[in-house]
Structure 1
Amino acid sequence: MSHPIVVTMICDGHRPDFVSEATTPQMARLRQAGTWFADHRGIFPSATRASSASIATGCWPVSHGLRGNSVALPSAGGHHVHDAGMPEFFDTYRQHFGRLLMRPSLSARVSGLHGALLCSNVSPGAAWFHDADGHAELYHRELSYRPGREPLPAIDAPAGAKGDAVLTEQFITTLLERPPSVATLWLSEPDKTMHAFPLGSPQHLAALRVVDGHVGAVAGAVERLRDRGHEVLLMVGSDHGHESVTETVPVERRLFEAGFKAELESPDVVVACQGTSAFIHFGGDALARRDEVADWLGQQSWAGRIMRGEDLAALGQIPASDVLALDMAKSPGSNRNGVPGLTAMAVRFSETEDAVRRDCGMHGGLGRYETNPTLIAVGNGFAAGSVVTMQSRIIDLAPTALRHLGLPQDGLDGVALVASPG
């Protein structure tokens, strides 16, 4: 029996200005077949793990509770920085807060219908926070399970092109065999290649062509579902964009050298780096130095916008009186391949990454291009060839899906997208 379905495909990190007939013909075809969102925006930080939670819940981080790609949790004498992408962080986070996300995901909301399918090739944290309460049928290299986290056989899908191909095949097979209410395929490319090679390089463009082939394969599966009578909404996009790195700055080391930390790796002042932004956390007596640190950062050429923690709610982030948020400095101009969007990058201690990272892609801050992901919607209500110039956000995907499925849109920060040109 046919039923409405929402199929979402996230090509991690893909910039909309790289959608073209020459490089991504399948995406270009879908752009003409549906609605193009010309001013689509991500969250702050423009990083995958918190973005995954925002796409799944339709909420800003301040509402769902996951701050970023790395998270500083209180410890003796200050804070300890955790990588939110690591498998062990899931239990650490739950033990600390006594919960996972504060808002339900799409997979939870459709559990009473035909369920949810998630095939994800990004970090374990990004995959698991997309389905925080285990309602989906999930395929990931670290853990695959049925609803209720009943284990499934391991799947050999390493991050990168090989794993993307494996998971695309798994996604299409499962989608056609057992059509769910919502199905999400999250590829690791082109993000993985963009981090390793300069934006606009032959390697970047080659990765895009491969990703575009997967988009075409999923679009073909959607057409087969429609032929069976299912009303399918297809959304193809990304979670954030990228900018090119101009320099890599060991922010926590610089704070120590400036006298703001007791020891290089002491917990009194720690930096939770988010790529091209960072959260600086203060504990104990160091909290009294927060404003002095903010003033000092304002004098550094590599520091851009500096935000006090109590002001973060305006950016959809979790406010806190013991935090500074730092957006790294942005620069006009382009990288060696003529790709616009330049930014400094934050790391904690390393002095050796600058030459490796220069001109390669990075994200996490508030730059024009890193906060501009891609979105195309094809299906009922999204007119062919339509362009929406009014701003849309990644938090709008979940309410759009719920509207298509005829489900309540309660408890959301986002709003359902419409195809009327702005």
Structure 2
Amino acid sequence: MPTPASGTDAAPPRLQAVVVVFDGLRPDYVTAARMPSLHAFAQRGVASSAHHALFPTVTRVNASALATGAGPGQHGILDNTIFLPGVDSTRGLDTGDGASMAHADSVLGGRLLTAPTMPELLAAAGRRVLVASAGSSGSAYLLAGAGRASTVNAEYTAPQSLQRLARAVLGEAPPDATPNLGLNARAVDAVLQLGIDSLDVDVAYLWLSDPDHTVHGAGIGSAIGDSSITAADREFGRMLRGLQARALTDKVDVFVVSDHGFSSHAGRDAPIASVLAAFRDQVMVAGGAIYVRRGGDATRAAVVRALQSAPSVGAIFTRSAPGDTAAGTGLEPGTLSFASIGWNHARAGDVLFSANWSHAVNPAGFRGRTEQAGTAGHGTTSPYDITATLIAAGPHIRRASRSNVPSSNADIAPTVLHLLGVPAPAAMPSRVLHELLHTGPAPSAVLVKRESVT
């Protein structure tokens, strides 16, 4: 394994923070048997029991939150499929496709993400960033602040000057696989051998595509799903050993998160799609968002009534009702407001819906089922989709602690900025996770105000 030069005149690596994303990692996956490396890491640092994904609980919404410290109402990526009529008025765009996202960003004049990004903020402060991702090219592009950070991904490596170096150091990318062993290993290699040894970055983002990549098809608690989790954990352990070999363990703060949780699916064939079939000539559907193209308010009301009559549909959201100062009641009766979930962006549709969910237990003993097609996944308001993983350890992090203070994926950005001494923009709506830091208040001392919207 290459390591930095050890001569007395060699400057120490600049690295100060690593953000590791395990795609789709439920907190209850983290056991000593299934994930020995992450479990041990949690014992020496802080583990949160109240961390959550941004809604919709999908990858690119949360990759963008990590990149901006903002939710979809600020950063503008409203689902995994988004409707941007200024880019393509005929269909939704797949945010998993990096080339499509780069084209959209170009058409929009660099405003695909409508909030300041971590790469921009860190570059302005003279800091370097690397994104190393085994996920989709689109999630890598968005995590890199819409292509504003050095990025290594099987389908998207940027800037162009990095492509030759990446091939020389890492070799060609292996094929996508289930479990995604080769690409996860390559992403770890990219952090260690490119991010630290070659580019000497201050902040590195590592995206491991399992368990999500495998569990979508295999199911929660399946043998191959569990093996994908353990394999991803081995790569995390290898990254930690790489930091140790470079004398960085006591110098680098490491944050481990998941972009969302996971639920078993009812498996019925697209029950919600059948509800919307009657409106195919009147609306555009992009993910869970519905854009009324014909019929105005009457169509919106009819769509909401149809959704409300379907047992497979859960929460429904519309714009705020007139005079709704509590930001909870939606425009249509029986709906909640976009403001209540931070989804009130100019790009928002007329209606947003989530699949229904329950606490049902699957054959492997894992709770959480949603009324969606397929074997397993995420994206809903289910607490099993919303509850995400947050574990941190490092020189500035509390030791052997637990936190029940609510946090979100958007809070990682201002926390990293704080640790690097870089001011966060006043408009960044998230917060520094002071309770995780040994200089902050103990989690038990933090007053938590809980509100409910019905």
TM-score (norm 1): 0.88
Out of 280, 283, 290, the position equivalent to 1:261 is 280
1:142 aligns with 2:155: yes
Counterpart position of 1:108: 120
Q: How far off its partner does 1:200 sit?
A: 0.6
Normalized per residue, the structure richer in strand is 1
Partner AA of 1:247 in structure 2: G
* Contact 1:118-1:138 within 8 A present in 2 as well: yes
- Taking a change above 3 Å as real, the CA distance of residues 90 and 58 of structure 1, as seen in their structure-2 partners, is same
How far apart, in 2, do the equivalents of 1:43 and 1:79 lie? 27
How far apart, in 2, do the equivalents of 1:77 and 1:118 lie? 28
Out of 160, 163, 187, the position equivalent to 1:167 is 187
* Contact 1:251-1:271 within 8 A present in 2 as well: no
Count residues in correspondence.
396
- Taking a change above 3 Å as real, the CA distance of residues 284 and 96 of structure 1, as seen in their structure-2 partners, is farther
How far apart, in 2, do the equivalents of 1:85 and 1:304 lie? 25
Q: What per-residue deviation string (whole Å, max 9, x for no partner) do you get for residues 205-263 of structure 1?
A: 111110110111111223344x269721111121111000013425344322xx3333x
* Contact 2:67-2:145 within 8 A present in 1 as well: no
Q: Secondary structure at the match of 2:155?
A: coil
Q: Secondary structure at the match of 2:184?
A: helix
Structure 1, unaligned runs of 5 or more: 263-267, 346-353
Alignment of 1:13-412 (within 5 A): 13-74=24-85, 80-98=91-109, 99-111=111-123, 112-146=125-159, 149-150=160-161, 152-153=163-164, 155-159=172-176, 160-178=180-198, 179-225=200-246, 227=247, 231-248=251-268, 249-256=270-277, 259-262=278-281, 268-273=282-287, 278-285=288-295, 287-310=297-320, 311-319=337-345, 322-345=349-372, 354=373, 357=374, 360-410=375-425, 411-412=427-428
* Contact 2:291-2:351 within 8 A present in 1 as well: yes
* Contact 2:56-2:379 within 8 A present in 1 as well: yes
* Contact 2:358-2:382 within 8 A present in 1 as well: no
- Taking a change above 3 Å as real, the CA distance of residues 157 and 182 of structure 1, as seen in their structure-2 partners, is farther
Once structures 1 and 2 are overlaid, which stretch shifts more, 325-334 or 80-89? 80-89
Q: Secondary structure at the match of 1:223?
A: helix
1:416 aligns with 2:416: no
Q: How far off its partner does 1:85 sit?
A: 1.0
How far apart, in 2, do the equivalents of 1:184 and 1:158 lie? 21
* Contact 1:14-1:242 within 8 A present in 2 as well: yes
Q: Secondary structure at the match of 1:152?
A: helix
Structure 2, unaligned runs of 5 or more: 1-10, 321-336, 437-441, 445-454
Q: Secondary structure at the match of 1:110?
A: helix
How far apart, in 2, do the equivalents of 1:77 and 1:229 lie? 47
TM-score (norm 2): 0.82
- Taking a change above 3 Å as real, the CA distance of residues 303 and 401 of structure 1, as seen in their structure-2 partners, is same
How far apart, in 2, do the equivalents of 1:399 and 1:379 lie? 17
Q: What per-residue deviation string (whole Å, max 9, x for no partner) do you get for residues 311-337 of structure 1?
A: 213212134685211110102221121
Q: How far off its partner does 1:307 sit?
A: 0.8
Q: Secondary structure at the match of 1:88?
A: helix
* Contact 2:378-2:385 within 8 A present in 1 as well: yes
- Taking a change above 3 Å as real, the CA distance of residues 287 and 23 of structure 1, as seen in their structure-2 partners, is same
Partner AA of 1:401 in structure 2: V
Q: What per-residue deviation string (whole Å, max 9, x for no partner) do you get for residues 79-135 of structure 1?
A: 522211123321442255332212222222222434011111111111111123543
How far apart, in 1, do the equivalents of 2:395 and 2:38 lie? 18
* Contact 1:77-1:283 within 8 A present in 2 as well: no
Root mean square deviation, CA, Å: 2.3
How far apart, in 1, do the equivalents of 2:412 and 2:259 lie? 11
Q: How far off its partner does 1:391 sit?
A: 0.5
Q: Secondary structure at the match of 1:284?
A: coil
* Contact 1:4-1:404 within 8 A present in 2 as well: no
Q: How far off its partner does 1:297 sit?
A: 1.1
Q: What per-residue deviation string (whole Å, max 9, x for no partner) do you get for residues 126-155 of structure 1?
A: 111112354322101112124xx5451364
